[in-house]
Structure 1
Amino acid sequence: MTHVVGKRKFIDSVDEIPQDDWNRVVDGRNIYLSLEYLTALEDALKDKMGFRYAISYSEDDEPLVVAAYQLVEFVDKRRQYSQDLCSLSYHIHKKIADVFTINVLVCGNVFSDGENGFLSRLISPEEAVREVATMTDSLKKQPSIKEKASITLFKEFWPESTKHSDILKEFSYRDFMIDVNMVLKFHDSWKNMDDYLSSMKTKFRTRAKSVYSKSKSLEIKDFSVEDIEQNAERIEWLFGNVLEKSDFSFGRLSAEAFVNLKRNLGNRFLFRGAWLNDVLVGFSTALINGDILEANFVGLDYDLNKEYAVYQMFLCDYVEQGLKLKMVELHLGRTAELMKSQVGALPQNMKLYAKHRKSVPNLLLKPIIQSISPSEFELRIPFKENFKS
């Protein structure tokens, strides 16, 4: 090992994080682990979920690993996994009607897709995974965590990282796949939307033009902090419409969180609103994470969505924003895979790891996890056969 871990520091609030040590490890590599992002999130949601942070140091006090944790309720609104999960824990928060919840300690970010739980320096990726697994075991022994979280979850790893992240299985974690992350790689020849559309087959180019035709009555605006604040109630309603259609959730962002993100991150946080006759009928958010544009959330008025192609317009708008910003990739996340493939995004498998805090229930967790698999969908390839994406 390049550096032997000498001590670990566990932190209950983002305000208590040693900023210099944290920033030395993060070093601008991941916006989701930036103190600006973490502060925005915790300030808005600290009354609804728990936040913990950890730093590992070498024997000579060099910061080696930083990790961010969230203590959240997993809400299974359709009770898809409720019966199986009931056998795992006596610490079930609710099991009523069509709602089932269980507390989960997450190393990562429930409001984003990808590897946003930890970063390291001066040690190898394998050593970093082992250290964060050990660090997490220590964190779970703390009284404030021990009796609250039944399951620990590491989310979530790209295919090229699983050779390292599979080390978590040495610590009794069970690996499983979830719905794919839809990713569009921007081609060097695309300088604008005309270039992008010209690379498509006629059928898909016609479909894209139909989206623009249906949505021509919409006015798309970039929102400032003040815009988000002034439209907070409408934003909450639009966002709630989308969340109502989900089968499960790990938590909910609020308009206050969007305000904080815009205030703290500025132009790195994109909030775009769609107006129809002076009424806000939809919004989209995205983060600039290095050379990647990461689409995060949308809010929709479903009574108008089909007629004006609001959601499809936002997908096209993400592509256009990515081109304007000269991004390398656009990450469109999970759900609506068919529509996202129609704009050129391809599926990327994402792997997670889960462990119950007790050994016997952890054995029972295996068949449940094995039953979880990515949703099936029909992949569309919109680009011409002679176009190399």
Structure 2
Amino acid sequence: MERFFLALETASFKIYTSISQLPANWDKIAVSNAFLQTSYLKVLEESAPVNMQCFYIGIFENSELIGVALAQYLNLNRLESFGERDNCLKTVIRNFVFKNFASHALFLGNNMITGQNGYVFNKEIDFKHISELLLQCADAISLYFRKQKTNIHIVSFKDFYQHCAVELKKHNFSNVYEFNTQPNMIFELDPNWKTSNDYVASFSKKYRDQFKRAQKKCEEIEVRELRFDEIVSNEERIYDLYHHVAKNAPFNTFFLSKNHFSMFKKQLQDQFVLCGYFLNGKLVGFHTLLINGNVLETYFLGYDNHIQKEKMLYLNMLYNMTKYGIENQFKKIIFGRTALEIKSSIGAQPVMMSGFIYHSNSFINKYINRIFKRLEPTLEWQQRHPFKD
């Protein structure tokens, strides 16, 4: 795509539709975030959800690359299901609205993960110019689709920590609707924990008993990290387990492609971990992790629902991911924004994040706050406090 100039006299941005077009020093700029490095972007390019198209944004000062960003277009008309768990009138109405008034959605950021992973710079950029950049990028990509006779309905700027959201609202985002959904569950690991025994010892009796009960339930389960060839040979089963969990989520905007996990392992190798859970030699569950510097990012998982209930499989997955984080001395684990209560029971804390959204129809956008509040499912949950005082 053509180059666009920002309000800054010396700044511009260029939008790319293919990894092969990216500047040679892209990864030097993206070094601090694995979700913006070309190894991960290749995973998206070669195994993105069928209803997704990715755009890669280079930000330049004069001719020097100083920042990189990601945008994703989603065609919700190509989605098999928005989510099957909540079968009620509100869900039916929500799905009708999304199909007819929000089926073409543009996300500035990464809609597949939780966290502030949309852009990174190699120098300090003030929020005034970041707000200008994000809005101008959205306009440029929307124009790209209009030329192809597709109108973008919804534009969303995804996942900002609260201090960033506050700063953005002081500038060009002041009139863009800010929303908060479920919090991101983040586990700041105690640097004094060297083994999982140290972690378990810090529990109060109630949660130490919970840990022991979960471990006992899972005694027959063999857990092991899968090599690339094992992921390939189990690909159908892995996808079936993932798909079962995904379609029963309250709301979806995409489903992964069947080769997503093998492509991930091929591209990121030791940076990507897929652990399989086997019962009598049969794969009954899996979880995935991405190593992102000193942060451990949880990714997608899947399980056989009958086995999960009987063996407390999901809770054991959370314990195992925590064990991996402790034993490999990560600073924190990003657990994402689902199953909040059970994640808090293993030590994760809720961190509120904001998004911004607007509708291309000015009349609908005028009432976006009321519409969004009515369509977004409310969630009541009780935070658990597992550690000794």
Contact 1:287 1:294 in 2 (8 A): yes
What pairs with 1:251-330 in structure 2 (closer than 5 Å)?
A: 251-330=254-333
Q: Secondary structure at the match of 2:255?
A: coil
Contact 1:125 1:164 in 2 (8 A): no
Contact 1:64 1:123 in 2 (8 A): no
- Alignment equivalent of 1:51, drawn from 54, 62, 71: 54
Partner of 2:3: none
Q: CA, structure 1 residues 82+130, in 2 after alignment: closer, same or farther (shift >3 Å)?
A: farther
Partner of 2:16: 11
- How far apart are 1:348 and its partner, in Å? 0.8
State the Cα deviation string for residues 146-175 of structure 1 (Å, max 9, x = none). Answer: 724210111111223222333576364211
Q: Secondary structure at the match of 2:134?
A: helix
State the Cα deviation string for residues 367-387 of structure 1 (Å, max 9, x = none). Answer: 1234447622011100001xx
Say whether 1:120 aligns with 2:121: yes
Partner of 2:222: 219
- Alignment equivalent of 1:185, drawn from 183, 188, 203: 188
State the Cα deviation string for residues 73-109 of structure 1 (Å, max 9, x = none). Answer: 456445746647867xxxx7x46xxxx9722111111
State the Cα deviation string for residues 18-55 of structure 1 (Å, max 9, x = none). Answer: 232x22421x1111101100111111127432111222
- How far apart are 1:6 and its partner, in Å? 3.9
Contact 2:108 2:156 in 1 (8 A): yes
- How far apart are 1:304 and its partner, in Å? 1.0
- Alignment equivalent of 2:388, drawn from 364, 384, 387: 384
What pairs with 1:84-95 in structure 2 (closer than 5 Å)?
A: 94=99
Q: TM-score, normalised by structure 1?
A: 0.89
Contact 2:43 2:260 in 1 (8 A): yes
Q: Following the alignment from structure 1 to structure 2, what is the Cα–Cα distance between the partners of residues 46 and 19?
A: 26
Partner of 1:229: 232
Partner of 2:205: 202
Say whether 1:61 aligns with 2:63: yes
State the Cα deviation string for residues 225-276 of structure 1 (Å, max 9, x = none). Answer: 1111100111111011101211211212234111111111111111010000
| Residue type at the aligned position of 1:16 | Q
Unpaired runs of 5+ residues, structure 2, are 1-5
- Alignment equivalent of 2:73, drawn from 71, 74, 93: 71
Q: Secondary structure at the match of 1:296?
A: strand
The sequence identity of aligned pairs, in percent, is 26
Q: Secondary structure at the match of 1:141?
A: helix
- How far apart are 1:133 and its partner, in Å? 2.0
What pairs with 1:118-157 in structure 2 (closer than 5 Å)?
A: 118-126=119-127, 127-142=129-144, 143=146, 147-157=150-160
What pairs with 1:169-180 in structure 2 (closer than 5 Å)?
A: 170=173, 172-180=175-183
| Residue type at the aligned position of 1:379 | Q
Q: CA, structure 1 residues 268+146, in 2 after alignment: closer, same or farther (shift >3 Å)?
A: farther
Q: CA, structure 1 residues 265+168, in 2 after alignment: closer, same or farther (shift >3 Å)?
A: farther
Partner of 1:375: 379
Q: Which moved more, 1:145-154 or 1:203-212?
A: 145-154
Q: CA, structure 1 residues 338+147, in 2 after alignment: closer, same or farther (shift >3 Å)?
A: same
Q: Secondary structure at the match of 2:329?
A: coil
Q: Which moved more, 1:306-315 or 1:46-55?
A: 46-55
Unpaired runs of 5+ residues, structure 1, are none
Partner of 2:164: 161
| Residue type at the aligned position of 1:19 | A
Contact 2:108 2:158 in 1 (8 A): yes
Backbone CA RMSD of aligned residues: 2.4
Q: Following the alignment from structure 1 to structure 2, what is the Cα–Cα distance between the partners of residues 212 and 327?
A: 23
Q: Secondary structure at the match of 1:249?
A: coil
Q: Following the alignment from structure 1 to structure 2, what is the Cα–Cα distance between the partners of residues 172 and 121?
A: 28
Q: Secondary structure at the match of 1:163?
A: helix
Q: Following the alignment from structure 1 to structure 2, what is the Cα–Cα distance between the partners of residues 230 and 376?
A: 41
Q: Secondary structure at the match of 1:208?
A: helix
Q: Secondary structure at the match of 1:170?
A: coil
